[in-house]
Amino acid sequence: MLRTIDLRGTRPSTAGLLALVPRAATDVSAALDAARSIIDEVREHGETALLDQAERFDGVRPSAVRVPADELAAALEGLAPEIRAAALQTIERVRSASEAQVPAPQTTVLAAGAIVEQRWQPVARVGLYVPGGKAVYPSSVIMNVVPAQVAGVRSIALASPAQSEFDGRIHPTIAGIAALLGITEVYAMGGAGAIGAFAYGVDGIGLDPVQRVTGPGNVFVAAAKRVVQSVTGIDAEAGPTDILVIADDSADPDFVAADLVSQAEHDELAAAVLVTDSPELAARVAERLEARVTATKHSARVREAIDGVQSAIVLVDDLEQAADFANAFGPEHLEIQVRDVDATLARIENAGAIFVGSFSPVSLGDYAAGSNHVLPTGGQARHASGLSAATFLRPQQVVRYDEQALREVAPVIAALSTEEDLPAHGEAVTARFPG
């Protein structure tokens, strides 16, 4: 099932590795025109456009885009006890881990009367997107909302697509978890239209523009984020999920196969990659993979993902080369199942989230680890990070100088401003010291 990329006996450069990494045949740029058109419809026609888009893309026309308070209350009341309990425990864990992501304010005293303060200021308003295509994602509600709350965001709006199964309402579990978290501003809107509505606002339904949009979605959501990022901040252009497992001959082949299948279950374009220095393990994983793919509920979807060009077994000479390949791939999820976990971990630079040891599967991070599962996909972990409280914070420097402290650096300012031929800069200082 999984194709093989054999790197044994070679040592490709970074550029060579980047050319070799398997990728899904998706192109966000190809969806830009469609996303821009959808956003323009929302900007021009507001709620009517959102209702029309729900009918066109989701197969149902909601009675209204804004979810009424009584619907949220009913959804909260209707949460199954085991779902509510699981959500509360997940919320507690994610909140604890998110609190550790908020930097403490710092004060630097450079000289007497010369102080620079570093503070972290939350954005005031955010729009959080929860997809609703092949599955329902109450966990994504938690992963988006909790770090925003921890960061101190005052105004939180949430959107999820209308569901034909529920007569145009959003999925009741999504609504229930939102209510459990105290979110009262919820919208039945999806795809690029939802992102555009967040970015530009919709007067007719009281939707004010946001300062940042976060959350996973399909290629049109990713394209829409690219379209609006000159207007509002975004987390990342999330695409199909991926998992890369580094394993040696000490790994359990059934564990590895189960973990690869768990992420392939998301989408036909999901990437499942095993990197190993053990051909024997590779063969055993392939054997177990066939059995697990055949037995799993979403077998057809998983098989298409496993058979796709984005998935592979990569054979390497050693674990150092395995780490090099992983760094080039920039996985959303990286598992390390080797004898000396810390030695391999020390070589990893690029990954959205890292799961070490045989009993830290990616599924743990998807739900109850306390880490956040909104992570950079498609190799973006090479330059981007996952969602956290820091996503909603902006570092700001506060400068406090008194008269004597400014006088002491006046010659420095004068010299540099003269060199840059910006004399008014220096004059703004000397004006404070007549004579």
Q: How far apart are the first and last CA of the chain?
A: 83
Q: Say if 383 falls within a structural domain.
A: no
Q: Which residues contact 414 (CB under 8 A, 6 or more apart)?
A: 426, 429, 430
Mean per-residue pLDDT, 161-187: 96
User: Does 263 show up as a binding residue in the annotation?
Assistant: yes
Beta bridge partners of 313: 4, 274
Q: In this structure, is residue 153 part of a structural domain?
A: yes
Whether 49 maps to a domain, the answer reads yes
Query: Based on the structure, what is the number of domains in the chain?
Result: 3
Q: What value does the mean pLDDT take over residues 357-361?
A: 97
Same domain, 52 and 195: yes
- Contact between residue 324 and residue 13 where contact means Cβ atoms under 8 Å apart: no
Residues 283-318 pLDDT 10s: 999 999 999 999 999 999 999 999 999 999 999 999
Tell me whether residue 376 is in a domain.
no
> Are 95 and 194 within one domain?
yes
Pick from 205, 237, 269: which residue ends a domain?
237
Q: How far apart are CA 242 and CA 4, in angstroms?
A: 17
Asked if residue 33 belongs to a domain, the reply is yes
Q: With pLDDT > 70 as the criterion, what percentage of the chain qualifies?
A: 99
Model-wide pTM > 0.85: yes
Section 400-415 average pLDDT: 97
Q: What is the mean pLDDT of the segment spanning 398-402? A: 98
pLDDT of 27 reads 72
Q: Does 356 lie in the same domain as 244?
A: yes
87: in domain:
yes
Which of 181, 208, 237 is a domain's end point? 237
pLDDT band at 22 (very low <50, low <70, confident <90, very high): confident
Amino acid letter, 372: N
Domain identity same for 207 and 103: yes
Are residues 179 and 51 located together in one domain of the fold? yes
Average pLDDT, the chain: 95
332 is known as an active-site residue = yes
- 193, 269: one domain: no
pLDDT value at residue 177: 98
Phi, psi of 399 (to 5 degrees): -105, 125
Residue 272 and residue 341 share a domain? yes
Of the residues 370, 391, 422, the one at which a domain ends: 370
| Other beta carbons less than 10 A from residue 30's beta carbon | 10
**What does the pLDDT look like over 183-231, one tens digit per residue?**
999 999 999 999 999 999 999 899 999 999 999 888 899 999 999 999 9
**Residue 269 belongs to domain spanning:** 3-25+240-370
* 327 shares a domain with 284: yes
Residues 251 and 142 in one domain: no
Considering the domain architecture, whether residues 174 and 220 belong to the same structural domain is answered as: yes
Q: What pLDDT score does 136 carry?
A: 80
Q: What is the pLDDT of residue 217?
A: 86
pLDDT at site 149? 98
Domain membership flag for residue 381: no
The answer to whether residues 76 and 157 belong to one domain is yes
366 annotated to a ligand binding site: yes
Where residue 183 sits, what CATH number does that domain have?
A: 3.40.50.1980
184 annotated among ligand-binding-site residues:
no
Answer whether residue 26 shows pLDDT above 70. Answer: no
Residue pLDDT, tens place only, 241-280 = 999 999 999 999 999 999 999 999 998 999 999 999 999 9
Percent of the chain with pLDDT over 90: 91
Alpha-carbon distance 260 to 276, whole Å? Answer: 14
Q: Is residue 162 part of a domain?
A: yes
Residues 6 or more apart whose CB falls under 8 angstroms from that of 37 comprise none
Which is the catalytic residue, given 237, 333, 335, 373?
A: 333
The verdict on whether residue 266 carries a ligand-binding annotation is yes
The annotation status of 333 as a binding-site residue, yes or no, is yes
Same-domain pairing of 113 and 73: yes
Catalytic residue among 41, 332, 335, 373: 332
Structure confidence by residue, pLDDT tens digits, 102-150: 999 999 999 999 999 999 999 999 999 999 876 788 999 999 999 999 9
